Amino acid sequence: MWSWIPSNTSLIWQLTWENLKLGVLPALYGLVISLPLGIIAARWRWFYPPVLTAVNIIYAVPSLALFIALIPTFGLTDTTVIIALTVFSLCVILPNVVEGLRGVPPAVTQAATAMGYGPLRRLALVELPLAIPVIIAGLRVGVVSSISLASVGQLIGVSSLGYLFIDGLQRSFPTEIYVGIVMVIVLALVCDLILVAVRRALTPWLARA
């Protein structure tokens, strides 16, 4: 039963790579979209509640349903899964961007202004760096969820580690299923650890404290 693994390593790696792309790209796109939206929402308070409500409603949409809703427009392709997962990541990362920026103590922003920082420099050099831990916390959930949800894409034929689940089901072959589950978890945890390392690298002042 376990001999299946060594004879199928290239398949496993290929599926893992597909799953990685389907998991990381959406989280990155989600971050890229959340940053400007979050900056606006943190600054102009009236903007946030409507955006948050829209985001919450979309978050309630089941992943499979969202994949399906996108099929007429984007087909049974990777793009469909990536767009749907990007929307989900948005739902998790945007609130964290806003919270992170809002969590910067007013005394710090005032000190920066007093030192002559214009709003843009202040944002880039003071507020965003201080918001990094909270933003990265959201990014971690986004990446881990996307990697796990990407396997559901297999139900609409988009290749990922989910293939091992479906194939394992059809052949009643548990080994494949175990491998699939373990690889998804390992992939997600590795990405999680990388993000923790990134956070440590970007916030050296926290380590010194």
Partner 1 sequence: MSFFSYAWDWVTTSANWHGSDSIPQQVLAHLGYCGLSLLIAALIAVPAGVAIGHRGGKGAVVVTNVANAWRSVPTLGLLILLAVFLGFSALTWLVPLVVLAIPPILVNAGEGVAGVDPGVRDAAKGAGMTTWQQIVQVEVPIALPLILVGLRTSAIFVVATATIAAEIGLGGLGRFIIDGLASEQYGPVAGGALLVVILAILVLALFALISRLAVPAGLRGRGRKE
Closer residue to partner 1 in complex, CB, 122/163:
163
**Shortest reach from residue 124's CB to partner 1, in Å:** 25
Cα distances from 200 to residues 116, 137, 145, 195, 196, in angstroms, run 28, 12, 22, 9, 6
Burial of residue 39 (CB within 10 Å: 0-12, 13-18, 19+) is middle
Q: Exposure of 204 by Cβ count < 10 A (0-12 exposed, 13-18 middle, 19+ buried)?
A: exposed
Q: How far is the CB of 145 from partner 1 (least distance, A)?
A: 6
Of residues 13 and 115, the one with the C-beta less far from partner 1: 13
69 or 111: whose CB is closer to partner 1?
69
| Residues ≥6 apart with Cβ < 8 Å to 14 | none
Minimum distance from residue 143 beta carbon to partner 1 (Å): 9
Interface residues with partner 1 (CB under 8 A) are: 56-57, 59-65, 68-72, 99, 140-141, 144-145, 147-148, 151-152, 154-156, 161-162, 164-166, 168-169, 172-174, 177-178, 180-181, 184-185, 187-189, 192
In terms of CB distance, is 117 or 178 closer to partner 1? Answer: 178
